[in-house]
Structure 1
């Protein structure tokens, strides 16, 4: 009898302790049916932003998902985007890390660093020094030269009636610009460093955007079920070897010739080496910090820019009336005696509208992904600390509640007199269009992108007719990755316009 009493007391005490320690239950948004262990993973396809859109259509604009052992929330409206990313900017100022991200970026990437002194210092250094107006102005001849090299390649191909892989050419253009601004190297078939840098950019953005089950199911963390570990370790080794080689060459040159140019016009590697060697620097950085920072800018500036230019060309080929209207604007404003220049683009509102329309349908990165660093209540629902937030800007851009005929490519919607008028900006103030994010963690490269994109598109329209083998419209299918690029490479047969101002 005494034994039974003791057992009962132990059982009741255990229950009391269990329930007294249980955390208060959160009030969570709607959620689709889940399965043990994997949670809602079975609802996701290879294009996660598209899967999220389908789920939001069924379960509401704010939904809760359990992806393995990770608590996630998906927001699908501009109102929620503003509430989460502007009003609660600090609460969502962190970013989710993955095994691939941590390993490839040495665990010190600026893009994934917590909001704090280091992040603030590097944001200031990048926006004021590397991407400031003066430095961007200094690199204008570089950007102009790279555009003319692309035009030269296309003209030669056109005269020989040969096809051109525009996916590769546009990636080469974007890569050459950022490589020279970052490290002073330029792609060529004989430059092994630049070729490797170009290849690594694609591999990094691909693996960063892919789903790795080890990041989501806790007991799989040490199991490389999909071969990710082998891939990201190989990428890291190759990238580290490339940067060590480039950095060693630059350090040797600095020892021989001094620390480089004074004032503006330095590339980012020189700026970072100055900080590394400055004992009184505000923030102490290491060689690994420099490597991670250069990788940040490679992935942020190369693939996103190239993908946006490619989607623009696809939509122009699919919409002959749009490209003809763009040509008319260029012919009136610029004429056919000279090429479009960066200084001309403010006077080309239709070209600007085309870029905005591409951002709406094909945002450079389809989702803003953040991690909560405190408990937040939104619309009566609880978002616990440590949750992952996905704001689906790809879906917002295709929502008929906010956009008339959302699947139609119609730049006129951004012009004065259109339904939205030309005042709708892309700088993170209007939450129906967030191609560069918003708030503290918005993309620091917006000024560079908006100098480069319009002039490249305008010169391609000004100088060439664009032909493809397909008799029907080019497909707009996507493939997985950080940037949701087109599923297949864009291969064109350019022909030189009769009144093209570019001469080889």
Structure 2
């Protein structure tokens, strides 16, 4: 097909889809949640262009006009945006089963990843088995408790504390994002493989690939709004992602092959996540193939490292913008833990103000501001109908800043959580940074421990100041921009 013929075909298809979308919108206008009327072809994409706002902020602004349950057409994709705690409860609790699906980003529709992914697999016996495996073995309290000293060692003796201390001696600026990312990668890889990938020969390749994958996932993708463009990959995103995924698969294949060989030779169990996954490949009812294992491993490393890093960077950024809060947090640590002693996970329960700081950061800066779901069937909510296969976005960012819920919602005030029972485990719909219902993040227990231990160690060991000329801002991506490089100063004995 030559270029002219392609353009003609493309224009005809878009025109047909535009007519179909407009006709459907007119036909079901009285049933759909309210929203701006879509233009031909582009739908409501024009509403997001030219306002210099981040996506979740643009959606929050539109929700003030059209309400907490709002319909938008992004190209040929129907999207319903949820922007209040009450509507979130309808979607994630009352109609949890109807909205348990996922709209798979086009960028992840490669190598069958989405079919085996913990995050993006559709509701099925396979998905339920994997979730059960996560809860009962990979992230169970028993497993996490057995590995608490390992996490402490990686924080105390690994990339984080020792690296920052070396730089702080000469007051060299430290990129907190990079060292936190390396620490998270070290902890996760040791839990999963009993190998510290940050110390392996493939360390730089692995860290680089994971970072590149997150960049591609965040990148605006035309095929997400116009699925017919997917096979053409006009932006080259899928080609790059295929290359990155193959690199990760090669690393995982080597580790899995070595593990299987060692089991044959000495029949020794490492007792780690990989052992648990390989054990389930022997269960005929699990449908867990080696390809599925590699998809699960990608989820663990990509989601685990990026969201942990983003949360800790924003926490440090807010503390640097609010030195009185930073001082109060360090005072709590000083009163609770001897300055010569390393912070341990068992200490976190005695640090309510530190926990409140983490909650307040997650309220203002959720690592995933828009939680994606998909309607599995036509579903009625408050006299409106959400159509089958519609994308449903829970605007966690908007809910966390709702003035009807929070006093002074834009201010960073950890004290608001000190006398509150509101928690992020999916029971309080005004605060759901990890989601809620059957799609709640299965890695929540691990993330909780990693974030609190790392933050407490950073504040207990060092004083902090923002490098001259640095500013804290947000930008239009799936997760939030790194706040900058931070200069670490050791606490004097």
Common topology (TM > 0.5)? yes
- State the partner residue of 1:62: 69
- State the partner residue of 2:58: 51
Question: Equivalent of 2:183, from 161, 173, 176?
Answer: 173
Deviation at 1:195, TM superposition (A): 2.7
- State the partner residue of 1:253: 262
Deviation at 1:144, TM superposition (A): 0.6
Q: 1:84 to 1:156 in 2, by over 3 A?
A: same
- State the partner residue of 1:453: 451
Task: Please list the CA deviations of residues 176-195 of structure 1 after superposition, one character each: whole Å capped at 9, or x if unmatched.
Answer: 1111112223244x623233
| Contact 1:172-1:187 within 8 A present in 2 as well | no
| Contact 2:366-2:396 within 8 A present in 1 as well | yes
1:241, 1:336 → 2: CA distance? 44
Match status 1:496 vs 2:493: no
Task: Please list the CA deviations of residues 252-293 of structure 1 after superposition, one character each: whole Å capped at 9, or x if unmatched.
Answer: 2222221414xxxx22111111122x2x44312211101001
Task: Please list the CA deviations of residues 224-265 of structure 1 after superposition, one character each: whole Å capped at 9, or x if unmatched.
Answer: 22221222221222122222122122222222221414xxxx
Task: Please list the CA deviations of residues 315-335 of structure 1 after superposition, one character each: whole Å capped at 9, or x if unmatched.
Answer: 111110001111111111223
Deviation at 1:173, TM superposition (A): 0.7
3-state secondary structure, aligned to 1:221: helix
User: Which runs of structure 2 are paired with 1:194-213 in the superposition (5 Å)?
Assistant: 194-213=203-222
3-state secondary structure, aligned to 2:97: coil
2:227, 2:30 → 1: CA distance? 22
- State the partner residue of 2:200: 191
Match status 1:476 vs 2:484: no
Instruction: Give ranges in structure 1 of 5+ residues lacking alignment.
Output: 1-18, 500-504
| Contact 1:110-1:296 within 8 A present in 2 as well | yes
1:221, 1:157 → 2: CA distance? 46
Task: Please list the CA deviations of residues 193-217 of structure 1 after superposition, one character each: whole Å capped at 9, or x if unmatched.
Answer: 2333322322223323333211321
Match status 1:31 vs 2:35: yes
Question: Equivalent of 1:127, from 110, 122, 135?
Answer: 135
1:285, 1:457 → 2: CA distance? 36
Task: Please list the CA deviations of residues 1-24 of structure 1 after superposition, one character each: whole Å capped at 9, or x if unmatched.
Answer: xxxxxxxxxxxxxxxxxx9xx987
Q: 1:259 to 1:125 in 2, by over 3 A?
A: farther
| Contact 1:105-1:295 within 8 A present in 2 as well | no
User: Which runs of structure 2 are paired with 1:331-342 in the superposition (5 Å)?
Assistant: 331-342=334-345
2:29, 2:403 → 1: CA distance? 35
Deviation at 1:313, TM superposition (A): 0.8
- State the partner residue of 1:85: 92
1:104, 1:429 → 2: CA distance? 35
Is 246-255 or 436-445 further displaced after alignment?
A: 246-255
Deviation at 1:341, TM superposition (A): 1.2
Match status 1:486 vs 2:481: yes
1:487, 1:346 → 2: CA distance? 28
Question: Equivalent of 1:232, from 227, 241, 247?
Answer: 241
3-state secondary structure, aligned to 1:231: helix
- State the partner residue of 1:353: 356
1:111, 1:183 → 2: CA distance? 21
| Contact 2:396-2:432 within 8 A present in 1 as well | yes
Task: Please list the CA deviations of residues 6-47 of structure 1 after superposition, one character each: whole Å capped at 9, or x if unmatched.
Answer: xxxxxxxxxxxxx9xx98766112212422111112222583
Q: CA RMSD in A?
A: 2.0
1:105, 1:309 → 2: CA distance? 32
1:476, 1:319 → 2: CA distance? 15
- State the partner residue of 1:156: 166
1:49, 1:478 → 2: CA distance? 10
3-state secondary structure, aligned to 2:116: coil
Question: Equivalent of 1:42, from 37, 46, 64?
Answer: 46
1:446, 1:52 → 2: CA distance? 26
Match status 1:397 vs 2:405: no
3-state secondary structure, aligned to 1:475: coil
Q: 1:281 to 1:221 in 2, by over 3 A?
A: closer
3-state secondary structure, aligned to 1:126: helix
3-state secondary structure, aligned to 2:252: helix
| Contact 1:366-1:393 within 8 A present in 2 as well | yes
Structure 2 length as normaliser, TM-score?
0.89
- State the partner residue of 1:293: 296
| Contact 2:193-2:273 within 8 A present in 1 as well | yes
Is 101-110 or 354-363 further displaced after alignment?
A: 101-110
1:152, 1:218 → 2: CA distance? 48
Q: 1:402 to 1:66 in 2, by over 3 A?
A: same
Q: Which has the larger radius of gyration?
A: 1
Task: Please list the CA deviations of residues 450-501 of structure 1 after superposition, one character each: whole Å capped at 9, or x if unmatched.
Answer: 22211211121111111223368x31323513xx13255x2122111113xx
User: Which runs of structure 2 are paired with 1:211-222 in the superposition (5 Å)?
Assistant: 211-222=220-231
| Contact 2:71-2:81 within 8 A present in 1 as well | yes
Deviation at 1:162, TM superposition (A): 1.4
Aligned residues, how many?
Answer: 463
